[in-house]
Structure 1
């Protein structure tokens, strides 16, 4: 209950901010329309960002217009609506790769037509979390992509088995404190244990486990030709629920508990580490990207904070959709000796930073909640007033939370 109330408050505060900023966005529209002319970005550094979501795959281009300001290049968005995740909560890695490659084809065509290919300085990824797939020694996918949306009944049963084993040892809370995550079907431990118990032949075919972004970069570049495996980023690894986020290492106790061979886990690296050098096949397809660096994926939850400029403890990010989440970026030192609060999670998202937060389902119904609870009319002003009040509450909650940390 302690978590639910502030998250509801935070959800309302986010809605209030959106409502109040509407006029500012309208006033800013003329400026944005000016930025949307692609030709003005010729000669500026440009990055391509690919977002692999559960319902769509898209890419956009950004230009560096000042020392620390990137502007979205109007018209650069390329998008393909796909149902990546099936009824089992799993995805087809080969189909995802094919869709991403088509999106990059379209993106490169846009950049060629607008004469913006001269200074492409990087290609980055954001991905839904969690995601993990198995590859063989040749770098080919041999398993489905296992995701946060896993819906197999057996996975939930194996999650309960892990909980029971840890509880019997008195280690359940400590596992949460080490990894920053709970034992749940949405994370990898339960999936891996199910695979070892029910599909051992499939596990045997796996040389390395990879993230989607690592698999794609390994498929396209010479970096993946040595052993077919690239590192996994801190955020993608942490969202698997198997990373000791303080030590930035795979959690050996959990790996042992689920029977996972640590040699099959990829090395962990910061998403700022570049991988360049397209292999011959893809150099022919995207010659302008032949020596451009590619970067490992950033998990969507971390990207939400980055995109909203909530990059330190002075700002909390509230995202509202089917679910609501409240997240704050902290220095790693802030959690060095502090325990992860019960009911919250904590992910490593970079060399020096972690992401602390909590989530609540059905966040999008916050207005309905206040209208029905307080018997408000459908007119905007009363709801706006309530949200203004709630924003004060969430600010107080934020201050108290950070003081406790």
Structure 2
């Protein structure tokens, strides 16, 4: 669908906030789903990573980033006098932070890529039947999800565990700051691993096992439920949004499928941003293939797929480490497939689908004195493609008879190779 100018936009206008793992963006769409090309802003950033597996962001920095994006976008719209009909949000999933009794953060925002809880994930798998939990929640007992995150925090930060009165995702925390209350969509909740995918309620058995209660989690909301009435000082900062309905954040993967038109099993969405994923939308998932996950789009539709921990991040890391440029990309693009003699495991941030070895590390085998940086980059991109191939096999086995693959994502679109 072609982008349009603000003069061509048809009401209602919708502001979208996209809180990703490498940038925050504010864009504007019209009532027909067309992007207003002249309006929008983006602020890049980097998650803080450490050698022990941390992947974090500062909650206040994340909040300020979103606010600055909204400031800039509203400044672009205000001269036109066009009213805003709604604000919609997608956020990277899953994110996690602990809150005290006043709703203040006790931890950084911990991202899906944090692997410091690998020991706790392994301990949960020894104590619980992972196949049962996978079937019930749609998620595995692995480092990306909340069960292992909570177990890690309880083991390593007992002081924070005792003080914590709430557990939240980044999208919920944003609402808490803006409105003084929070809720969580079934979409975002399903990414945490604590939602029962059959009842669409918090899984009481799992919460009890982890030592938390449902009242420490946000109330569940469907994707169309409105929240209005910005608290101060935000109502004064953005008077154009003071009475505008905000919709609960959904997972970035669900948003990518919807935006790509991949809304049934006939189309697979392939996304390559910082990380990568393959996903299909289906009414229900009777049995989840090994190594894949089943999240929610909303109450009515499930999202079946698998995600990798590498994609554009691996590409960018190699570009920086090997000091590559656009000419290097072009040279890499004409190399014959598998002509480099290299075997690469691309796990610079651990492995997610389908093997879920959260503490896996990247490796390159076969380097000789003749190996070029372009060949290493080529081997890296081929290794990512092989990971997608494994996920695609799992989707096909689950009845995903896709007629078409729709590819999107910032890393993919920025590089023809």
1:159 equivalent to 2:121? Answer yes
Mark the CA change 1:301 to 1:85 in structure 2 (over 3 Å): closer, same or farther.
farther
2:238 equivalent to 1:286: yes
Partner of 1:175 in structure 2? 133
| Shift in alpha-carbon separation, 1:310–1:92, aligned structure 2, 3 A | same
Structure with the larger RCO, 1 or 2 (CA within 8 Å, 6+ apart): 1
- How many Å apart are 1:138 and its aligned residue? 2.8
Residues 54 and 83 of structure 1 are in contact (CA less than 8 Å); yes or no, is this contact kept in structure 2?
Answer: yes
Q: Contact 2:56–2:108 at 8 Å: present in 1 too?
A: yes
Q: Which residue does the alignment assign to 1:120?
A: 84
- Distance across 1 between alignment mates of 2:47 and 2:183: 23
Q: Report the counterpart of residue 40 of structure 2 in structure 1.
A: 77
Q: Find the counterpart in structure 1 of residue 406 from structure 2.
A: none
Q: Which residue does the alignment assign to 1:244?
A: 196
Partner of 1:193: 151
Q: How many residues align?
A: 335
The TM-score, its normalising length taken from structure 2, stands at 0.73
> Do residues 355 (structure 1) and 303 (structure 2) align?
yes
After superposition, what is the alpha-carbon deviation per residue over 1:261-299, rounded to whole angstroms, capped at 9, x for unaligned?
A: 332122221122110001231111000101001111111
| Distance in 2 (alpha carbons) for counterparts of 1:374 and 1:343 | 30
Could you give the per-residue CA deviations for residues 184-216 of structure 1, whole angstroms, max 9, x where no partner exists?
Answer: 111111110111122122123222222212211
Contact preservation (8 Å) 1:188, 1:240: yes
CA apart distance, 1:348: 1.8
Distance 1:361 1:236, change over 3 A: closer
Partner of residue 233 from structure 1, selected from 178, 185, 201: 185
In structure 2, the residue matched to 1:149 is 113
Q: How does 1:20-59 map to 2 (within 5 A)?
A: 32=2, 35-41=3-9, 44-59=11-26
In the alignment, structure 1 segments of 5+ residues that lack a partner are: 1-27, 379-386
Q: Where do 5+ consecutive residues of structure 2 fail to align?
A: 316-331, 342-374, 376-384, 402-417
What does 1:5-404 align with in structure 2 at a 5 Å threshold?
A: 32=2, 35-41=3-9, 44-64=11-31, 69-87=32-50, 88-113=54-79, 115=80, 117-152=81-116, 155-166=117-128, 171-221=129-179, 224=180, 229-321=181-273, 323-331=275-283, 334-335=284-285, 338-360=286-308, 371-372=337-338, 398=396, 401-402=399-400
Q: Give the drift of 1:362.
A: 5.3
Q: Is the 8 A contact 2:183 2:220 kept in 1?
A: yes
Q: How far is 1:368 from its partner?
A: 8.8
Q: CA RMSD in A?
A: 3.1
Distance 1:182-1:220 versus aligned 2 partners, 3 A rule:
same
Aligned mates of 1:260, 1:276 — CA distance in 2: 30
Shift of 1:85: 3.9
Asked whether the 8 Å contact 2:290–2:394 carries over to 1, the reply is: no
Distance 1:162 1:399 in 2: 28
Is the CA contact (8 Å cut-off) linking 2:22 and 2:274 kept in structure 1? no
Contact 2:289 2:398 in 1 (8 A): no
TM-score, with normalisation over the residues of structure 1? 0.75
Judge conservation of contact 1:193–1:259 (CA < 8 Å) in 2.
no
Task: Go from structure 1 to structure 2 and tell me whether the alpha carbon gap of 1:309 and 1:107 turns closer, same or farther (over 3 Å shift).
Answer: same
Name the one with the larger helix percent: 1
For residues 152 and 186 of structure 2, the distance between their equivalents in structure 1, rounded to whole angstroms, comes to 24
Indicate if the aligned counterparts of 2:288 and 2:398 stay in contact, CA closer than 8 A. no
CA distance in 1, matches of 2:271, 2:196: 26
Partner of 2:365: none
Residue 347 of structure 1, CA deviation:
0.6
